[in-house]
Structure 1
Amino acid sequence: MKLDVLGLTGETEHVYTALVGQPRCTASELAETCGLTAAGVGRLLSALVKDGLAARTAGRPPRFSATVPDVAVTALIDEQQHRLDEARSVVHQLMETYREAARITHPEMAVELLTDRDDISSAVGRLTADARREVRAFDRPPYVDRPGSNLDLQIQRQRSGVVHRVIYSQEAVAWPGRMNSDIGPSIRAGEKARVRPELPLKLVISDNRVAIIPFSLAAGGQSAAYLIQPSPMLVALESLFEAEWERAVVLSDLRPHPAHGATLGAGSGEPDADTRCLLTLLASGLTDAAIARSQGWSERTTQRRIHRLMHELGASTRFQASLTAARRGWL
C-alpha cells in the first residue's frame, strides 16, 4: 500500500487504482476486475466519491470515474498536512503544559548546568541558529571561542530576517583588530550594536525561549555555564538586557560615506573610514590605550590622530569633538 498514509485502506486503494484505468464503469464491472463483491465495491466507491477521489453519473446503474489523480490525491495530501500541522500545534501546547508542570514540581529543570567547554560552545551555536526572530547578547571578555569566528553564520541569519541586537563592553570593542574584522562587518550586515563601559555578565538570549550565561567571569569560569529555559529567571535576564540597551551608546556604521577615500581637511566635508572609526571609538568612551589596541596603532599615533581630528572639528575636548561630529552626521 502506498496511499495508506492518506487514510485509504488497502481495498479502497485497490478499487481506486482499478477505477483510474477503467473509467465510466459500474460497481459490478469494477467488482469483476478487482475480484470483490459488487456490494463491497459499491460501498468503497461511495467512500471514494465522498473523499473527492471519484465522480458518479446520475443514470441507472450509476457509472463511476476516477477524479484526475494529481488533483484529487494532492487535495488529500494537503488535508492530511493540515491535520498534521494541527497535531503539531497541540503537541507544542502539551509540551508547554508539561514543562510548566515539571518546573513547578522540579524548579531546578528551568536551569541546566553545562560543564564542558565544547558543550557550551555547541549550546551557544544552537541558540543562535534556532532563533527565528531575534538574538540579544552581552559581548565581553573572556571568550570561549575566538571573537568573530561565527561572523559568516551571523550574517547569513541576519539576511534571513533574524534581528541581532548586541551590547559590547568597551573592552570587547578595544579587542585588537575586532572593530574592523568583526564588529564593523556585523553592523554593515544589519546588526544593531551598542556599547557600555562595563557589562555585568556575558549573555545570549534566543527569541524569548532560552538564554545562556557563564557560571563565572573569573579565570576558568567559562568552563561552566547555565542554560536558562522559560522561567522568571529568563524574564529577569530579558529585562536586564533591555535596561542596559536603553543606557548604551549606539555604535555607528563604519562604512565610508559616498565620498570614498576623502579625508578631513581635503575639502570634501566627509571623513574617511579611519576617521569615522576613530570617532566611533571616541564616542564609545575608549581610552587612548584602548583605541591603540583596537586599531593596532601606537599610543603616540592615536594621540596625534585625535588631536588632528579635534583641530579639524574646532573642538577643545573629546566630548565636543563627538558632539560636533554627531551634528554633522558622521556618527
Structure 2
Amino acid sequence: MLTMFGLELMEEAVYREMRASPAPGAEAIADRLAVAPDLVRACLDRLLELGLVRHSFEVPGGFAAVDPILSLQQSLAGQHEELMRRQRRLAETHAEVVCLLTSGAFGLSGKVEQVERLLGMDEVQCRVDRLAGAATREVLTFRPGGAQSTPELMASRRNDAALLSRSVSIRTVGTDTDSYDAATMAHVHWLTGNGGQFRGSEAPLPRMMLVDGSVALVPVDPDNTAAGALYVTDPGLVAPMVVLFEQTWSSATPLDAERPSAGDAPSGKELALLRLVAKGCTDAAAAGRLHVSHRTARRMMAALMERLGARSRFEAGVKAARLGWL
C-alpha cells in the first residue's frame, strides 16, 4: 500500500488504475471499480494534490500517473522546506520568551517572582551542577555552537555520568554538528552509548536547559551567553519551552544517521527493497519481486530502518531520499 503518501484505499485503487497504459478516464475507472464517477474524480483531485498524477499533455481534461519515487522526492523537498520554516519560527518564539523574561528580570533585587538572573558563566555553571544533582526524571538541552571546549566537555561528562547513574533521562539537540571535533564526537558517542540520547538539527537553536519539566535555564542575551542566564521556575513560562523542545526533538535527526559512512550505503537488494516500498509494495509483495522470503524482506527492512535511525517505513523513505538513495 502507498502508506507513505497517506492514501485511502479508494485513492490507492484509483492510482493503480491510472498506472495502466494508456491511462483510463474517470468514467472507465469508475466502471472497473464499480463506484460513482464523482468519487473517482475526488480521488484524482487528491492524487493531483499529492503529486501522484498530473494533467495529461495528450488528453484534454485528463490525467497521467507520476512515478511515485519522483513524487516522494518532491514531497520530501516540500516537507523539508516547511520543517525549516517551522524550526525557524520555534527559534523566534524562544527568543520572544527570553525577551519577555529579560524585560522584567533586571530589578534591583536580581529576582522577579519566579525568574532569577544569574551573572557570569561561573555562576551559571554552579547552578547547572546543582540542577544536575537534583534532577529526578529528565534533563532536556539545546546545545548550539558546534564543538565544545575542554572545560565544557569535562563538566558535561561529570554531570551526565551522575544523571545516568540515577537513571535520569538525558535528551540533547545540537546544531552545527558538522563542525564537531574528535573530543566532542567522543562525548556524544559516550553519552549515547550509556543510555543518553542525542540528535542534530539544521535549524538555529538557542541555548536552553530544562530539568524535570519544572525548571529552565536560558541565556540573558542569546547573542552573548557569557553574560549569564535566567533561572526560570514559573510553570507558565517553562511549559512553552518544553513544548518547543519536544517539537524540535521530533524533527531532529540522530547524529549517526546524519553522518552515514561509505559502508552504510545499501546493497543492491536493499536499494531495490527501498524502491519497491516507496512505490507502495508491502514487505510480502516486495519479497516476491526480490525472490526472497517474506521473513527476509521484513528483516532487511528492519535493518534499513535501524541504520537510518527511522521509527517507521515512512521516516525510512524520508531519510533514504535525503541521502540520495532514492
TM-score by length of 2: 0.45
TM-score by length of 1: 0.44
